Structures are given as C-alpha cells and as structure tokens.
Chains A and B, each alone.
Chain A
Amino acid sequence: GQQVMQIPQYQHVQEGEDFTTYCNSSTTLSNIQWYKQRPGGHPVFLIQLVKSGEVKKQKRLTFQFGEAKKNSSLHITATQTTDVGTYFCAGQTSGSRLTFGEGTQLTVNP
C-alpha cells in the first residue's frame, strides 16, 4: 500500500535558526498537504500542493513539491517559538484517501 515517510522525527533548534522537514512517498502522488499540530491540539491544515515542482510560500514557510511528485518539503526560515509543534505531510494518490506521514516534532529554544 501507499506509504508516506517523514524525516526527521524530531528537530530541536535555537530561535532564529532554519528548519526543514522532508516527506517521501513510495508512489506518485496526485497532491500533498501539510498540517501543523500544536502541543495538545489538533492538526490544522496549512497548504496543498498539486503541481509537479510547485513552490508555495506563507510568510516564513516555504513548501515544495518534487518534480516527480513523490517528495515534498517544508522549510521554515528564522524559527520563532510560535513555530513549535508537529508538522505532518499527507499524500494522496489518485482516487484514494490521504495517507499521513509520522510527523516531525519541532521544538524551538528561545
């Protein structure tokens, strides 16, 4: 079945440092979504990527979808304490349901 793997599982950074999490699928995806879950909270949708090679930005967050549509990344520039949480990617193949990665837990030391 479809597998979505995410690395790293944990990342500790100093405030102001950059952060990147990577998502890899065993199959070609029709789209990929990214979610953020604050500690004790629920996942909240951040963005969806659909096109091969697509790059989208939300303030300090940059999302990329690979040319082969099998991988994606989320990069945060100059992290802040408000970025703390777990970031999940979720991939979908045509006609199937979303499959979530294991998530990357980000902690930011002030």
Chain B
Amino acid sequence: EAGVTQFPSHSVIEKGQTVTLRCDPISGHDNLYWYRRVMGKEIKFLLHFVKESKQDESGMPNNRFLAERTGGTYSTLKVQPAELEDSGVYFCASSPAGTGGGYTFGSGTRLTVV
C-alpha cells in the first residue's frame, strides 16, 4: 500500500509569491488533515477534510491560505501571497473513516519564505 505522498519536499520562495503544496492520501482514506510545524514549535492543526468537504478549518491562520480537495482524492494547500512567518514544515495525514487519531503522515513539505 502506498503511503501518504507530499510534494514538493522542499520549496524556497520569495515573500509575496504563491506556492501550492500537494498531498496524495492513501487510496480510500476519507479523512485528510493538514498540519504545520513552525521552527522549534509544536505541530499545529490547520484543517480536516472528510472526502471533499471541509470538516474543520479552525486552524487555518488567515485568508492567505486556501485548501482544496477536489473529488475527495488529493488535496492542495495554496499560500498566496506568502509571508516570512509562513516558513515551516507542512504535514499531510490521512486516515480511514472513523479512525481515532491513528493517522498515516506524509514526509512533509519544508517551505522557506525569504
């Protein structure tokens, strides 16, 4: 079974530019989550999809962040325009319906905004 795939693995962009991160969950997993770890701090929840619907987006920091999950398969997280404080590692995770926290995580995308 293929795991959760994220790309790119690294991205360096200038302040004000746009970046799109992609996550391919495990096939058949209804739940898809985005998390972010800012350097040295805790990993924080951003949002949760159930299939194509946003179940909870309470962790999204501001309206510069837009997440989509078209057709309930892969998901994208767009940051537009990027700011310096957006730098960090963005993790995606997926789980089957009804799972209590035991997700499978991807390797993360390290985003650096300069």
Q: Decide if A and B are genuine partners.
A: no
- Which B positions have Cβ atoms within 8 angstroms of A? none
- Which A positions have Cβ atoms within 8 angstroms of B? none
